[in-house]
Amino acid sequence: MTTQKISKPVNVGRWVTWGLFALVLAVAPLMFTSGLALTVLSQMGIAIIACLSYNMLLGQGGMLSFGHAVYTGLGAFLAIHALNAVSSGALPIPVSAVPIVGGLAGMGFAALFGYVTTRKAGTTFAMITLGMGELVFAMSLMIPEFFGGEGGVSGNRVIGSAFMGITYGPAIQVYYLIAVYTFISVVAMFAFTRTPLGRMLNAVRDNPERVEFVGYNTQRVRYTAFIIAGFFAGISGGLGALNFEIVTAEVVHAARSGAYLLFTFLGGATFFFGPIIGAILMVLAFVLFSEFTKAWLLYLGLIFLFMVMYAPGGIASLIMMNLRVASFGKLRQLLVSYLALTVTGLIALAGAGAMVEMIYHLQLSSSQGSEIVFMGVTLNTTGLDHWLAAALIMSVGLGLFEVARRRFAREWEEIQAFIEKQTNKEDAQ
């Protein structure tokens, strides 16, 4: 008897994807060289780790957590304390290893709090994590020794002798540290989805009862996954501490947890790469969009509502659905509809946006005169004609959008039916 050796074919696509990802991480700061771009890129790396670790709970485990910032935040606090210990000579580790300290801290706190939270699943889990988040935030104001009170804890990352010229003084060096951590963490978290535990976590999400019958303890699976997610969350917090060199109590605030949830969902919780899109959007929204308009949280909430209603898979699922259509060569049919949807949608948004901006102006800064500039047009917030014009534009846009949407829905149905038929035919053969 001879055993035949079966060599697996090399998965070229996967190597190409990861290679491209590494290349993007390496090249991005060379393309965008301004100081702002570098900060944005660094924050994106940090956010990508945080959102992916959050998705380990939401997307893969079906655990809706309202308190993920607890683990990123406490990781950040321990990391900054570790950094200060390093600079005082009490802790003999290199600065590059400080995020690991944050990771271990996140892991420890996840092991501690997760013991209580993961006893439940579903909505109860969500409420308990919310309570935990509030608990930790309230504590942060009570113990100024650790959390630094109002001013937070600050540190200095340029310490010790330079190793191969790396001092972490210039932001570009910190960016590359973040990039390396991001790459390793993303690979590790992807690998996690392929482990038996990762698969079991999906099973616990989909059918916990059956998992119990097979002989697994669903609570322990959730608990283990929660601890691992806490580790990566802590790493992201530690990188944040190194990047900003200051950690304030707001890193454990419920608003931060809410942002992780919002953007992970917007990016797409059902696909592994969804949270990466979400994280990039999050940083763009916080850094750029919030400068652009004061009403950005309103727009964000509305986008989120529509996303939950019409595309619960997030942006990632929209991309994948269109890729599927494209692979059957039908995307071209939809182009006209997409164009119509975009144009009419933009008209409606312009009208609505003008009205929202005018209200915000009246509410917040009416002392600075009654005129605002919105998309290159000067609007008079006290003039009735401008309000009527904005309302008219919005309703015309909405009407046209509805017409375009109906047409699009019809075409989409047809194409889906066609794809269905095609795949059934292939299966039959």
d(CA 214, CA 131): 32
Residues 6 or more apart from 295 whose CB is under 8 A from it?
356, 357, 360
**Residue 388 is a binding residue for other proteins (CB under 8 A):** no
By the rule CB under 8 A, 145 interacts with other proteins: yes
Rounded Cα–Cα distance for residues 378 and 151 (Å)? 41
Contact call for residue 265 and other proteins (CB under 8 A): yes
Residue 390: which residues within 8 A CB-CB, separation 6 or more? 351, 352, 354, 355, 358, 379
CB of 44 to other proteins, least distance (A): 23
Contact 252, 69 (CB under 8 A): yes
Of 136-144, 168-176, 280-288, 396-404, the window that binds other proteins (rule: CB under 8 A) is 136-144
Q: According to the binding rule CB under 8 A, does residue 110 interact with other proteins?
A: no
**Among residues 143 and 326, whose Cβ is nearest to other proteins?**
143
Cβ proximity to other proteins, 327 vs 413, nearer residue? 413
112 makes contact with other proteins (CB under 8 A): no
**What is the DSSP secondary structure assignment for residue 7, as one 8-state letter?**
P
User: Least distance in Å: CB of 195 to other proteins?
Assistant: 24
The residue range among 6-14, 84-92, 308-316, 389-397 that interacts with other proteins, by the rule CB under 8 A, is: 308-316
Least distance between other proteins and beta carbon 259 (Å): 10
Q: Is 385 in the site for other proteins (CB under 8 A)?
A: no
- Specify the residue, 159 or 359, whose C-beta has the smaller distance to other proteins: 359
Per-position b or e across 257-276, b if 16+ CB within 10 A of its CB:
bbbbbbbbbbbbbbbbbbbb
Under the criterion CB under 8 A, does residue 238 sit at the interface with other proteins? no
Q: What is the DSSP string of 171-198?
A: HHHHHHHHHHHHHHHHHHHHHHHHSHHH
Could you tell me the smallest distance in angstroms from the CB atom of residue 114 to other proteins?
Answer: 12
CA atoms of 405 and 310, how far apart (whole Å): 12
Task: Kindly tell me the burial class for residue 88, based on how many C-beta atoms sit within 10 Å of its own C-beta (0-12, 13-18, 19 or more).
Answer: exposed
- Interface with other proteins in residues 9-68 (CB under 8 A): 62, 64
Token output for 154: 């600050």
Of 191, 302, 392, 409, which one interacts with other proteins (CB under 8 A)?
A: 302
Q: Find the binder of other proteins among 14, 119, 220, 406 (CB under 8 A).
A: 119
Spatial contact of 258 and 142, defined as CB atoms under 8 Å apart: no
Query: Of the candidates 94, 151, 169, 312, which one interacts with other proteins according to CB under 8 A?
Result: 312
- 356 lines the binding site for other proteins (CB under 8 A): yes
Among 93, 166, 171, 295, binds other proteins (CB under 8 A): 295
Residue 375 backbone class (left: φ over 0; alpha: ψ -120 to 50; beta: rest)? left
| Binding-site ranges for other proteins (CB under 8 A) | 62, 64, 116, 119-124, 126-128, 130-132, 134-135, 138-139, 142-145, 254, 258, 261-262, 265, 295, 297-298, 300-302, 304-305, 308-309, 312, 356, 359-360, 363-364
